[in-house]
Amino acid sequence: MTATQAGTTRRWRTVVGLPARYLRAVHLRWLRSIQARVVIGTVVLSAIVIALVGWMLTRQVAEGLTDSKREQSVSEARAGIHLAQEQLNAQPVTDTRSLSDTTGKLVQSLSTRGGTARQYEVVLLGPLTAKPICEQVGKKKSRDVSCQSIPNQLLKDVSTQDGVAWAYSTMSFRDGGSEPAIVIGAQIHAPSTGDSFALFYLYSMSDQADTLSLIKRAMVSAGLALVILVAGVAWLVTRQVVTPVRLARRIAERLAAGRLEERMHVRGQDDIARLGISFNQMAASLQRQIRQLEELSRMQRRFVSDVSHELRTPLTTVRMAADVLHDTRGDFDPPTARAAELLQVELDRFESLLTDLLEVSRFDAGAARLDLELVDLNECAERSVAACRALAERYGSDVELIIDARPCLVQCDTRRVERIIRNLVVNAIHYSHAPRIEVRVAADEQAAALTVRDWGVGLHAGESTLVFNRFWRADRARTRSAGGTGLGLAIALEDAQLHGGWLQAWGEPDKGAQFRLTLPRDAGAELTRSPLPLVPREERPIEIGQSYERLDLGVGES
């Protein structure tokens, strides 16, 4: 496309764009406003009805006007024609010359018969046998009527048959003016010469036309006024209904936004008022319940906070005292020294249990808040795995970290994400008895994932969801000395869900287990797939016909 063409297209778009934008705005208004729809609909319908009625009325009035005029004119013309025939019969004419004179006189007398306020013109054409001569007689307001005023069809009818014939026509004058008229004609015969003449009466219908146009104008104005009135009425009526509805909508929006004290203003006792009353009752009930819940949640938080403070201060003292005893246990006799050691170890457990319990109750109270920042998940994994190295060494496990070369930036709460990773790794170390644990990080455009894989005892069927239950232990008989509080995975799951992420587990007896954390890269975004498979590649069944669950777990594998 050349520059000129582009310019033209742009200009064309601008030209086209304006009405299109306007149309879109109108369309939107049409879609969104009941009032606009009702008003426009009413106006269109009433305009159609009024136009139809007006058209029929004008037609009837026009017919009435012309019919009466026609009847009156025809009877008058009939009398005149009769008189002309009689005069022609009474005057014996011998030659063409005198005939011309006679007809001239005849027309003169006919046209003067109407008096000064003459309402008609007379035209005599004839003799019909020879070339017809247009004998125009009489002048109306000094204007000569043109012979063109007589429709050819009427002249033909009159020439060929007896009796009176009539037609509507336009009376045109020699000076160029014209007005609507009715033309009535008949044959008259001159008995002496045997010639036939066509005698026409032309009655002006301009009065009727004027009346009709007046009526039309009146009808159009009345119709317009009526349409405007109907539009106004429709607007007012819909306003009565729509205003409270719109008010209710606004109030509902404010309620939804958390302004629970908002209420509708209720006036009267009609349906709208009752809607308002019900609405207000609903709002009040909602407010009451939300207040109660808020109060409960606040009390719970307060309680947690108080318990936290009240327990932690004495625990700190005990902890420090135990530490002093522990440091000087060399001076004690063996049982007392062992007691000091046990005190120390169990205080550690008590402390982590307290911390976990407080964390869980914070989740339960809905008091957990995300402290979001953009961090590299690779670094989080490195730090978390590093923090678990000492424990891994103690249990004889080797933790391997496989990360992407590229930084894997995720919007998340570092503290929580690192806690999830730590919990997963610690869980793998504690429960799998596996010599090797593998932590893998990967990401795509939408999500980042981290898997913790172990080749340990694995999980039995159905346990992959149970592991996230609080205080759940894979083997009831297993000693508690395995460590952990039993809350680690539950807290990890809550942390993941707080991010809008997934935390899932897979495991099979003796094949090991894999935990997968998937986080949206932008906080709050919807997760649809994970960059890493939940079921490890080497464990995926190749044959088809496996259970739905197992196929489904493969989501995210490319």
Partner 1 sequence: MNTEPTAGRTGGKGTVLIVDDDTALAEMLTIVLSNEGFETVVCGSGDKALAMFRDKRPDIVLLDLMLPGMDGVDVCKAIRAESGVPIVMLTAKNDTVDIVVGLESGADDYIVKPFKPKELVARIRARLRRLGEEAPETITIADLAIDVAGHSVKRSGEEIALTPLEFDLLLCLARKPWQVFTREVLLEQVWGYRHAADTRLVNVHVQRLRSKIERDPEHPEIVVTVRGVGYKANAG
Q: Would you tell me which residues interact with partner 1 (CB under 8 A)?
A: 305, 308-309, 312-321, 323-324, 351, 355, 358, 367, 369, 371, 373-376, 383, 386-387, 407, 409, 414-415, 418
Nearer to partner 1, 99 or 487 (CB): 487
Nearer to partner 1, 371 or 543 (CB): 371
Of 421, 404, 415, 409, the residue nearest 447 (C-alpha): 409
DSSP 3-state percent helix, strand, coil across the chain (nearest 5): 60, 15, 25
Instruction: Give the shortest CB-325-to-partner 1 separation in angstroms.
Output: 11
Residue 531 CB neighbour total at 10 angstroms: 23
Instruction: Give the shortest CB-385-to-partner 1 separation in angstroms.
Output: 12
Instruction: Give the shortest CB-324-to-partner 1 separation in angstroms.
Output: 7
DSSP assignment, residue 132? P
What SS3 class is residue 464? Answer: helix
Nearer to partner 1, 216 or 319 (CB): 319
Looking only at the bridges linking them, the beta strands covering 143-144 and 139-140 are antiparallel
Instruction: Give the shortest CB-318-to-partner 1 separation in angstroms.
Output: 8
Instruction: Give the shortest CB-495-to-partner 1 separation in angstroms.
Output: 14
Nearer to partner 1, 288 or 415 (CB): 415
Nearer to partner 1, 141 or 406 (CB): 406
H helix intervals, 399-498: 414-432, 463-466, 488-498
DSSP, residue by residue, 295-362: HHHHHHHHHHHHHHHHHHHHHHHHHHHHHHHHHTGGGS-HHHHHHHHHHHHHHHHHHHHHHHHHHHHH
Residue 340 CB neighbour total at 10 angstroms: 19
Burial of 427 by CB count in 10 Å (0-12 exposed, 13-18 middle, 19+ buried)?
buried
Instruction: Give the shortest CB-516-to-partner 1 separation in angstroms.
Output: 23
Nearer to partner 1, 362 or 440 (CB): 362
Nearer to partner 1, 314 or 335 (CB): 314
Instruction: Give the shortest CB-295-to-partner 1 separation in angstroms.
Output: 19
Burial of 213 by CB count in 10 Å (0-12 exposed, 13-18 middle, 19+ buried)?
exposed
Looking only at the bridges linking them, the beta strands covering 195-204 and 178-190 are antiparallel
**One-letter amino acid of 384:** S
